[in-house]
Amino acid sequence: MVHIVGAGPGATDLITVRGRELINRADVIIYAGSLVNPALLEYRKSGCQVYDSAKMTLEEVIALIEAAEQEKKTTVRLHTGDPSIYGAIREQMDAMEKKKIPFDVCPGVSSFCGAASALRMEYTLPNVTQSVIITRMAGRTPVPERESIASFAAHQATMVIFLSTGMLNELTEELIKGGYRPDTPAAIVYKATWEEEKTVICTVESLNASAKRENIKKTALILVGNAVAQNGYERSRLYDPVFTTEYRKGTGDKE
Ligand code: SAH
């Protein structure tokens, strides 16, 4: 049996209880060493074999899993954050399905949630925006043209941009092309929830200069939009004394 497990954004106590128990029971752990905090491996039992997938191909990962299955071992495939976001898990799940290897998925706290917590930020502010766009600049993995940063920028929603810290001048250009003002609030969150976490509040225009100043080159998220400023919002209806909800009678209800 294979468990694909979300490791969370970095801090070792931000993996789920289920994820930690799966690590503790695993005979084999294959972890994404480029981003997963290796301290999480301390939850493993003695005798557990550990492999870093950063040095491996998909074929090598699958071969390891297959060998473990033949010996009736339990494997944990540990991915950073939540595995459903830029996790490259579909290709692994397809290969396992083909080989009739049983697997399941344990979710994790994605780094975009870790970044919001680092900034004590709410992405969805009433009257500012009610949407979060998770995207990336095209890199070695292409992004379909209809999903260009410029086209998303037109929505003026909160944007969380993964995998793009090395392309900040291009990112700024795309954001402005799409309709963001150069002085739109933005933030860079480096290694959210790790000891080395760094947060920088800047603007769309100053993204590259800010990252350079802080020497941030990778493992960061870029947040963009008026929500980053965390002001100019309306208070929620949910907790407004005037409004009735399913659980509470309001003072101003006319029905
Ligand atoms: N599945 C992961 C994302 C993997 S893609 C998740 O849910 O978070 C790898 C990218 O995620 C990195 O290039 C970086 O942009 C971002 N990332 C991962 N961990 C991060 C962290 N702790 N802080 C900031 N960005 C992080």
pLDDT surpassing 60 at residue 168: yes
108 within 8 A of 72, measured Cβ to Cβ:
no
Average pLDDT estimate for 137-142: 88
Please tell me the distance from the alpha carbon of residue 165 to that of residue 157, in angstroms, as a whole number: 20
DSSP 33-61: TTTS-GGGGGGSPTT-EEEEGGG--HHHH
Q: Which two tokens stand for residue 140?
A: 């070695």
Q: Report the percentage of the chain scoring pLDDT > 90.
A: 87
Q: How many whole angstroms from 1 Cα to the centroid of ligand 1?
A: 27
| DSSP designation for 245 | B
| DSSP designation for 21 | H
Q: Looking at the chain, how many residues does it have?
A: 255
194-250: per-residue pLDDT in tens? Answer: 999 999 999 999 999 999 999 999 999 999 999 999 998 998 888 988 888 889 899
Q: How many whole angstroms from 198 Cα to the centroid of ligand 1?
A: 14
6-42: per-residue pLDDT in tens? Answer: 999 999 999 999 999 999 999 999 999 999 999 999 9
Task: Please state the atom number of ligand 1 nearest to the C-alpha of residue 162.
Answer: 15
Average pLDDT estimate for 114-122: 97
Residue-level pLDDT at 139 = 86
- Cβ neighbours of residue 38 closer than 8 Å, sequence gap 6 or more: 31
209-225: per-residue pLDDT in tens? Answer: 999 999 999 999 999 99
pLDDT surpassing 70 at residue 253: no
Q: How many whole angstroms from 10 Cα to the centroid of ligand 1?
A: 9
Second-level CATH architecture of 111-229: 2-Layer Sandwich (3.30)
Q: Report the percentage of the chain scoring pLDDT > 70.
A: 99
Q: How many whole angstroms from 36 Cα to the centroid of ligand 1?
A: 9
* Amino acid at position 44, single letter: R
pLDDT surpassing 90 at residue 255: no
How many CA atoms lie less than 13 Å away from 56 in the CB half-sphere?
Answer: 18
Q: How many whole angstroms from 246 Cα to the centroid of ligand 1?
A: 37
Q: Which two tokens stand for residue 42?
A: 């301390």
Helix axes 90-98, 58-70, angle to 10 degrees: 40
Find the helix or strand (DSSP H, E) in which 213 lies: helix 207-213
86-102: per-residue pLDDT in tens? Answer: 999 999 999 999 999 99
Residue-level pLDDT at 254 = 55
Listed in order, the ranges of the chain carrying CATH 3.30.950.10 are: 111-229
Q: How many whole angstroms from 9 Cα to the centroid of ligand 1?
A: 7
Task: Please state the atom number of ligand 1 nearest to the C-alpha of residue 165.
Answer: 15
Task: Please state the atom number of ligand 1 nearest to the C-alpha of residue 82.
Answer: 7
Q: Which of 13, 15, 31, 35 to mutate to test the pocket of ligand 1 (most atoms within 8 A of CB)?
A: 35
Among protein residues, the one with the nearest Cα to ligand 1's atom 6 is: 81
**What is the distance, to the nearest Å, from the Cα of residue 96 to the centroid of all Cα atoms in its chain?**
24
Lining residues, ligand 1, CB within 6 Å: 9-10, 35, 79-82, 85-87, 110-111, 114-115, 162-163, 189, 191-194, 219-221
| Residues paired with 132 in a beta bridge | 158
As a whole number, the mean pLDDT across the chain is 95
Task: Please state the atom number of ligand 1 nearest to the C-alpha of residue 85.
Answer: 1
222 within 8 A of 187, measured Cβ to Cβ:
yes
Please tell me the distance from the alpha carbon of residue 178 to that of residue 139, in angstroms, as a whole number: 19
Please tell me the distance from the alpha carbon of residue 119 to that of residue 111, in angstroms, as a whole number: 12
Task: Please state the atom number of ligand 1 nearest to the C-alpha of residue 87.
Answer: 1
Listed in order, the ranges of the chain carrying CATH 3.40.1010.10 are: 2-106
Q: What is the CATH number of domain 2-106?
A: 3.40.1010.10
Among protein residues, the one with the nearest Cα to ligand 1's atom 4 is: 86
Using DSSP, state whether 248 is helix, strand or coil.
Answer: strand
Q: What is the pTM of this model?
A: 0.95
Residue-level pLDDT at 245 = 87
